[in-house]
């Protein structure tokens, strides 16, 4: 073979190898870029979608009955608010008083003259606070917490990742009978707390709860040949008509819509992990209910890993009943 021909073949061979390497590199880069593009697209979609539960924190402090014109909130009564601000710096914090309550009431999608008159006519501040929290969450969404609730962990960690795209309500257990005795003024088997609730706006559970509260209170007054503004309310009435007992009834009604096989709140006893039914995430007892003397709640002074808040049971709603 002539030297010139050998050199030509060598050049062609080298060129073929170079082109092959270039093709391989380009195709691999294309695969990588496509993969990165897909990841970026998913990330952007998630960012655009944002959290299902808005980054709002709501607390309520209404003027006590018979308070004088110079009434001011005692700062010690809302000292736990600092924990919500410190652990959730990117959230909007709202302390709702009477004027803001009236404004929010007008904005609510169910708002009408009757509902506004109904709210302002309630003689019991605890009942007003109950109804208002449901109205706010139904319309605005976010996290509601009583002023005697301390935030233990950031809200962004409350919903396990596997439920983050589906959970639109977060509820916690206040009482779980398990194999023990019943406690007074609670559901016989299990009760959900409403000292802390997280919800997306326009959720059917909260809308259902607003309607239920109005219906219950009207029936209570009618059965006594009275009006909502004139009838008396006991502590037990607050619990059963607007508070945790009423809340438990309505939560369970909504759960049964999602899971018809549920026959009793007893079916939810002994939860050890967060459980999603429909769009409602149910937390085990320590989630919102640590530090109690029942229900297998951790009460040894430690803070369990799954505790998200701590309720301190100041019970201001009891002293607000002036009827």
Segment 247-280, tens digit of pLDDT:
999 999 999 999 999 999 999 999 999 999 999 9
Comparing 52 with 183, the larger pLDDT belongs to 52
The pLDDT assigned to 69 comes to: 80
Quick one: which of 244, 264, 139 has its CA closest to 202? 139
Altogether, the residues listed in the chain come to a count of: 323
Which residues constitute the domain of residue 301?
52-319
Return all residues near 136 (Cβ < 8 A) that are at least 6 apart: 58, 96, 104, 142, 144
212 pLDDT more than 80: yes
- Strands 196-199 and 56-60 come out as unpaired
- pTM (predicted TM-score): 0.82
Contact (Cβ atoms closer than 8 angstroms) between residue 207 and residue 110: yes
247 and 282 both lie in a single domain: yes
Q: d(Cα 236, Cα 170) in Å, to the nearest integer?
A: 25
Half-sphere exposure of 173 (CA within 13 A, CB side): 28
100 and 193 both lie in a single domain: yes
CATH number at residue 163: 3.90.550
Q: What is the pLDDT of residues 14-31, one digit of tens each?
A: 554 444 554 444 445 444
Q: d(Cα 272, Cα 264) in Å, to the nearest integer?
A: 18
Contact (Cβ atoms closer than 8 angstroms) between residue 304 and residue 287: no
270 and 285 both lie in a single domain: yes
Q: What distances in angstroms separate CA 244 from CA 130, 193, 196, one per listed residue?
A: 9, 6, 11
State the DSSP H helix or E strand holding residue 50, giving kind and residue range, or none if neither: none
45 and 56 both lie in a single domain: no
43 and 56 both lie in a single domain: no
* Mean of per-residue pLDDT scores for the chain: 84
Local confidence band at 110 (pLDDT 50, 70, 90 cut-offs): low
Quick one: which of 290, 110, 76, 106 has its CA closest to 213? 110
36 and 89 both lie in a single domain: no
The pLDDT assigned to 172 comes to: 98
Q: d(Cα 151, Cα 53) in Å, to the nearest integer?
A: 17
271 and 315 both lie in a single domain: yes
175 and 204 both lie in a single domain: yes
11 and 127 both lie in a single domain: no
Q: d(Cα 290, Cα 240) in Å, to the nearest integer?
A: 23
71 and 4 both lie in a single domain: no
219 and 172 both lie in a single domain: yes
Residues 86-109, mean pLDDT to the nearest whole number: 92
Q: How many domains does the chain have?
A: 2
Residue whose pair of structure tokens reads 């969404």 in the numeric block: 141
Q: d(Cα 88, Cα 152) in Å, to the nearest integer?
A: 11
152 and 37 both lie in a single domain: no
The pLDDT assigned to 320 comes to: 45
């Amino acid at each position: 073979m002539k030297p010139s021909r050998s050199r030509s073949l060598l050049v062609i061979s080298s060129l073929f190898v170079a082109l092959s390497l270039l093709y391989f590199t380009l195709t691999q880069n294309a695969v990588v870029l496509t993969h990165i593009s897909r990841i970026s697209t998913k990330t952007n979609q998630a960012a655009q979608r944002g959290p299902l539960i808005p980054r709002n924190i709501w607390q309520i402090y209404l003027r006590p009955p018979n308070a004088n014109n110079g009434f001011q909130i005692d700062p010690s009564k809302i000292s736990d608010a600092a924990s919500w601000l410190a652990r959730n710096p990117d959230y909007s914090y709202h302390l709702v008083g009477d004027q803001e309550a009236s404004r929010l009431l007008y904005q609510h999608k169910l708002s009408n003259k009757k509902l506004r008159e109904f709210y302002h006519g309630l003689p019991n501040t605890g009942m007003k606070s109950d109804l208002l929290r449901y109205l706010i969450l139904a319309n605005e969404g976010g996290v509601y917490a009583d002023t005697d609730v301390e935030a233990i962990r950031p809200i962004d960690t409350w919903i396990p990742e596997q439920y983050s795209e589906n959970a639109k309500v977060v509820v916690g257990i206040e009482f779980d009978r398990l194999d023990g005795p019943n406690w007074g003024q609670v559901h016989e088997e299990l009760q959900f707390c409403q000292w802390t609730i997280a919800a997306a706006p326009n959720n059917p559970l909260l809308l259902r709860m607003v309607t239920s509260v109005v219906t219950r209170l009207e029936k209570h007054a009618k059965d006594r040949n009275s009006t909502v503004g004139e009838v008396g309310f006991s502590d037990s009435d607050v619990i059963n008509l607007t508070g945790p007992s009423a809340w438990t009834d309505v939560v369970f009604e909504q759960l049964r819509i999602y899971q018809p096989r549920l026959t009793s709140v007893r079916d939810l006893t002994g939860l050890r992990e967060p459980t999603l039914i429909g769009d409602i995430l149910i937390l085990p007892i320590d989630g919102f209910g640590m530090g109690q003397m029942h229900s297998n709640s951790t009460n040894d002074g430690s803070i369990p890993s799954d505790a998200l808040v701590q309720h301190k049971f100041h019970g201001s709603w009891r002293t607000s009943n002036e009827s």
